[in-house]
Structure 1
Amino acid sequence: MSISVDSTTRRRVLATVTAGNFAQLGVRFVIGPIVPLVLVEFGATRSGVGGALTAMWAVYALLQFPSGVFADRFGERTLLLTGLVGTVLGAAAVALAPSLVLFGAALVLLGAGAGLFFSPGSSLLSRVYDEHGGALSALTAGGALAGVIFPASAGIVGVRYGWRTAVAGAALVSLPVVLATVLYIPKSPAAAPEKGLSELVNVRRVARMMTRPSLAYTAGIAVLTGFTFQAVSSFLPTFMVQYRRVDPGTAGVLFAVVFGISSLAQPAAGKVSDAVSRDFAIGMSAALTASAFLVLLAVDGTVGLLGGTVLLGTGISWPGTVQARVMDQLDVEERGFGFGLVRTVYMLLAASGSVIVGSLADSGGWVHAYGIVILLLVGGLFALGTNRALGLNL
C-alpha cells in the first residue's frame, strides 16, 4: 500500500531515513579502522576478530526478514526508532568491552539494533516514491557518506585517544537522528496490519518465494556483492597497514576516500540502473571493483595505492541498484516480507566474508584473501553475461 504525501514531507522522509542509514551504518564503519588497535590490545588474530565481525553481520542479516514482517504488521516508524536506539546501545557496549569475547558479544548487540533499520527504511521509501531505484540509491549513498566521515575520524581519534573513544563518539552522533525520526517520519498506516507474526514461520511461503527463479538469481548476485562489501568494510584498513605499509591514520583516511567516492557514485549508478538496466549498472560496478583489487595487490607505490583506492570507491556503487533489483521482483504488498527475507538470506551468506577473508589473510596472506574476492566478482560478471546472452530474463 503506497503512502500519499506532499513533496515536502516526501523529501523530509527521504532525508531522515537516509540520515538514519548514515548513523547506523557509520557506527559499524568505525569498527574496520580500529581493528589494528583491537588486535594489539586483546592480542587477537585476524581470524578471531573476523569471526566476531561475521557474528555481527550474521545477526544483522538474520533480522532483515523479521524486521520486514514487523514493519508490515506494526508500521515502519516503530521499527526505525527501535533499530536506531539499539544501534546506540550496541555501540556503547562495544566501547566498554573489557575482553575480546565481550567485544564480540557487543558487536552482536550492535548488529541486532542495526538489523532492524534497513528493511523498514527501504520499504517506507518504496511506498513513498514510485521511482524507487533513485530513492534507494540515495538511501545507500547515505551509508556510503558515513564511510567517508566515520572511518577517517575513527582512525585519527583512535590513534590519538584510543579506539574506545572513537566508538563512543560514533554512538553520540546517532542520537540526533533518533530525534529527527520522531519528528519527521509520519505515523503512516502499516502496509499489512492484518498479517499475523506466524508469517515468520510460514515455511511454504518462504520456500515458494525463494525458489522463484528471478528472485533466487538476484539473491545469488547479491551474495557476491555482499561478500565483497564485507571484505572491504572489515579488513581494508588492516590490509592497507599490513600489505601497503601505511600508518593506521592514513589507512582510515584512505578507507574514508573509498566510501566518499562511493557516496557520489551510488546515485549515479542508481540513475544508470533506472535508465539502462539493473544488470548493466551492477556489472559495471563489479568490473571496476575487481580491477581495483588487482591494482592494490599488484601495482606498487603511490600510483597503485591511489589508483586502486579510486577504482574501489567507484566500483562499490552497487548497493542501491541491488536493492532495487530485489524490489523489482516483488509486488507492493509483499515487499516488506519479501525484501526482508531476501536480505536475510543473501546477507547471512555474505557475512562469511569477514571470517573467510580474515582466515585467508592469516593462513596465506593478503593476495590469497583478496584473490578470492576477485574470483567471486568475475563469477558474478559471468552470471550477468550469461543471463543476457541467453535471454533468460532472470
Structure 2
Amino acid sequence: MHTLHDGLSDVTYVLLPVLAQAFGLSLAQVGLVRAAQRTAMAAFQIPAGLIAERFGERNLLAFGTLCAGLAFIGLGFAPGFYAILFALFWAGFGSAVQHPLASSIISHAYPGEGRRAALGTYNFFGDVGKFAFGGAASLLFVAGVGWQAPVLVFGLLGIAAAIAISLLVPNSRDSTITTGQIKPAAKAAGWGIRDKQGFTALCLIDVLDSSTRSGFLTLVAFLMIASGLPDGWAAMSVPLILIGGMAGKLACGLLAERFGIVRMVVITEIATGCGILATLVLPTLGAFLLLPLVGVVLNGTSSVLYGTIGDFVDKDRLPRAFGAIYTVGSVCGIASPLGYGFLGDLYGVETAIALMGVLIFLTVPMAFMLRPGRAARLESV
C-alpha cells in the first residue's frame, strides 16, 4: 500500500515535465499543480485521522485509495491545465489518508515489540514505490509510449488496491469492539496523549529532522555544482541519497528494537549532522561518494520516530496522532526548502547547508526527553 501511494505521489515529478510539454504549461503552472497536490496531502491528514476514529481506518483507507485511483484515471483523460490541477488535487486528497491510517493499522497490529521494525519496513516500501513508479514511467516515455497509458494503468492499480483493502485488511475499529476493549478507550479525552513531554519532544525532533531532510535534498545538487562537479553528475546526488535512505528506513527501524529509541535517535541525528558538515569539507568526489551513507541516517530517523508514537498516545487516538505528525512533516517539506533556499540566495549554498548540519544537533538533548514516555509505558504493562 505504501509502495502504491508513494509511487502515485512522486511519479508526478516525472509526469510534470511531460505534461508541461504536451499542454504548453508554464513553470508557474507546473509549480501550482505540484503545490496543489502537496497542499491537499498536508491539509487532509489530520481530518483523515479524526474521521477514521469514527468509521475505522480500513474503510477510510480504502476510500482514499479509490479517490487516488480515480484521480489518475481522470488525469489520463485531462484536456488541459485546469483538469490536471483538479485531478492531482484529488490525487493528493486520496493519498492524504495513507500515511496516518496505514501507520495506525500497523501500530494496532504490533502494539508492543516489533512496531518500529514493522513501521521501518513500511517506510522502506514507500521508497521502493517512488523508484518503481518513477522508473517505470521514465522508461516508457523514453521508449516512446504516450503519457496517458501509464497514468491510466496507475489509476487502475489504485482502484484494484482499494478493493483489496476492503476485502483483506481487518478493520481495527471492528476488532476493538468485538474484544470489549472499546469502553475504556472511548473515555479518552482530547488527543489521548499519555506523556505530553515525550510527545512534544518527538514532534520537535520531527520538525528539525524533516526540515533538514527536505532542505538538504533540495540544495545538495547545487552544493555539488558549486564544488565543481559536472551538472550531470550533480543531478545524481538526490537519487544516491534516496538509495541510502531506503536502506536506512528499514535498518533503523530494526535496530531501534535492539538498541532502544533514545540511543538510535542520538546516533542517527549526530551521524546526520556530521555527514552533512562533511560534505562541505571533503574533496568534491569524496563528498559525492559519501551521499548514500548520509542518506542512511538522514532518512532512517523517521522510522524510529513514527514507531514511537504508540508509546505516548492511547490506542484509539493513534489515527489523529499519526495525522498530526505526518502533517508536521508535510508542512516542513513545503517551508524548509523555501527558507533554506532564501538563505542560500543571500549567503551562499554552503552557509545554508552548514546551518542544517548544525541545527540537527539540537535534536540530541530532545531525544533524552523520550525516556519518561518509555518508563511510563513499561510501568503500565
TM over 0.5: yes
Is structure 2 residue 214 aligned with structure 1 residue 230? yes
CA–CA distance in 1 between the matches of 2:93 and 2:347? Answer: 32
Q: Which aligned pairs between 1:265-304 and structure 2 lie closer than 5 A? A: 265-296=248-279, 299-304=282-287
Residue 149 of structure 1 deviates from its aligned partner by: 2.6
CA–CA distance in 2 between the matches of 1:218 and 1:38? Answer: 39
Could you tell me whether the CA contact under 8 Å between 2:59 and 2:166 is conserved in 1?
no
CA–CA distance in 2 between the matches of 1:329 and 1:102? Answer: 42
SS of equivalent residue, structure 2 residue 313: coil
Q: Percent identity?
A: 18
Equivalence for 1:134: 117
Q: Which aligned pairs between 1:300-319 and structure 2 lie closer than 5 A? A: 300-319=283-302
Deviations 1:247-280 (A, max 9, x none): 39x84x6544433332322232112222222232
CA–CA distance in 1 between the matches of 2:353 and 2:17? Answer: 18
Could you tell me whether the CA contact under 8 Å between 2:64 and 2:94 is conserved in 1?
yes
Which amino acid letter does the alignment assign opposite residue 316 of structure 2? E
Residue 57 of structure 1 deviates from its aligned partner by: 3.4
Deviations 1:114-133 (A, max 9, x none): 11112121111122223211
Which amino acid letter does the alignment assign opposite residue 128 of structure 1? A
Could you tell me whether the CA contact under 8 Å between 1:141 and 1:266 is conserved in 2?
yes
Question: Judging changes above 3 Å, is the alpha-carbon distance between structure 1 residues 87 and 377 closer, same or farther for their aligned structure 2 residues?
Answer: farther
Equivalence for 1:247: 232
Residue 316 of structure 1 deviates from its aligned partner by: 1.1
Q: Which moved more, 1:324-333 or 1:256-265?
A: 256-265
Could you tell me whether the CA contact under 8 Å between 2:195 and 2:373 is conserved in 1?
no
Deviations 1:323-361 (A, max 9, x none): 112221112232233333343345435532244345556
Which amino acid letter does the alignment assign opposite residue 168 of structure 2? Y
Deviations 1:15-35 (A, max 9, x none): xxxxx1111112222244567
Question: Judging changes above 3 Å, is the alpha-carbon distance between structure 1 residues 333 and 276 closer, same or farther for their aligned structure 2 residues?
Answer: same
Equivalence for 2:47: 66
CA–CA distance in 2 between the matches of 1:97 and 1:354? Answer: 32
Which amino acid letter does the alignment assign opposite residue 102 of structure 2? G
Is structure 2 residue 218 aligned with structure 1 residue 218? no
CA–CA distance in 1 between the matches of 2:266 and 2:40? Answer: 28
2:334 to 333, 351, 354: 351
**TM-score with structure 2 setting the length:** 0.74
Count of paired positions: 359
SS of equivalent residue, structure 1 residue 283: helix
Residue 221 of structure 1 deviates from its aligned partner by: 0.8
CA–CA distance in 1 between the matches of 2:33 and 2:351? Answer: 21
Is structure 2 residue 44 aligned with structure 1 residue 44? no
1:125 to 103, 106, 113: 106
Could you tell me whether the CA contact under 8 Å between 1:71 and 1:120 is conserved in 2?
yes
SS of equivalent residue, structure 2 residue 170: coil
CA–CA distance in 1 between the matches of 2:149 and 2:278? Answer: 30
Residue 240 of structure 1 deviates from its aligned partner by: 8.5
Is structure 2 residue 79 aligned with structure 1 residue 76? no
Is structure 2 residue 315 aligned with structure 1 residue 332? yes
CA–CA distance in 2 between the matches of 1:327 and 1:140? Answer: 16
Equivalence for 1:22: 3
Residue 145 of structure 1 deviates from its aligned partner by: 1.9
Q: Which moved more, 1:296-305 or 1:21-30?
A: 296-305
Structure 1 residues not aligned, in runs of 5+: 1-19
Q: Which aligned pairs between 1:160-199 and structure 2 lie closer than 5 A? A: 164=147, 168=151, 170-171=154-155, 173-187=157-171, 189-190=173-174
SS of equivalent residue, structure 1 residue 124: helix
Q: Which moved more, 1:50-59 or 1:67-76?
A: 50-59
Could you tell me whether the CA contact under 8 Å between 2:57 and 2:105 is conserved in 1?
yes
Residue 220 of structure 1 deviates from its aligned partner by: 0.9
Could you tell me whether the CA contact under 8 Å between 1:157 and 1:165 is conserved in 2?
no
Could you tell me whether the CA contact under 8 Å between 2:210 and 2:333 is conserved in 1?
yes
Deviations 1:190-242 (A, max 9, x none): 477899xxx9xx9x825x85992221111111112222343466x47975896
CA–CA distance in 1 between the matches of 2:74 and 2:20? Answer: 18
Question: Judging changes above 3 Å, is the alpha-carbon distance between structure 1 residues 161 and 310 closer, same or farther for their aligned structure 2 residues?
Answer: farther
Could you tell me whether the CA contact under 8 Å between 1:84 and 1:114 is conserved in 2?
yes
Question: Judging changes above 3 Å, is the alpha-carbon distance between structure 1 residues 171 and 225 closer, same or farther for their aligned structure 2 residues?
Answer: farther
What is the root-mean-square deviation of aligned Cα atoms in Å?
Answer: 4.2
CA–CA distance in 1 between the matches of 2:237 and 2:149? Answer: 17
CA–CA distance in 2 between the matches of 1:361 and 1:42? Answer: 28
Question: Judging changes above 3 Å, is the alpha-carbon distance between structure 1 residues 367 and 237 closer, same or farther for their aligned structure 2 residues?
Answer: closer
Could you tell me whether the CA contact under 8 Å between 1:32 and 1:236 is conserved in 2?
no
Could you tell me whether the CA contact under 8 Å between 2:206 and 2:329 is conserved in 1?
yes
Structure 2 residues not aligned, in runs of 5+: 375-381
CA–CA distance in 2 between the matches of 1:36 and 1:218? Answer: 37
Deviations 1:40-67 (A, max 9, x none): 864427xx86676555434323322222
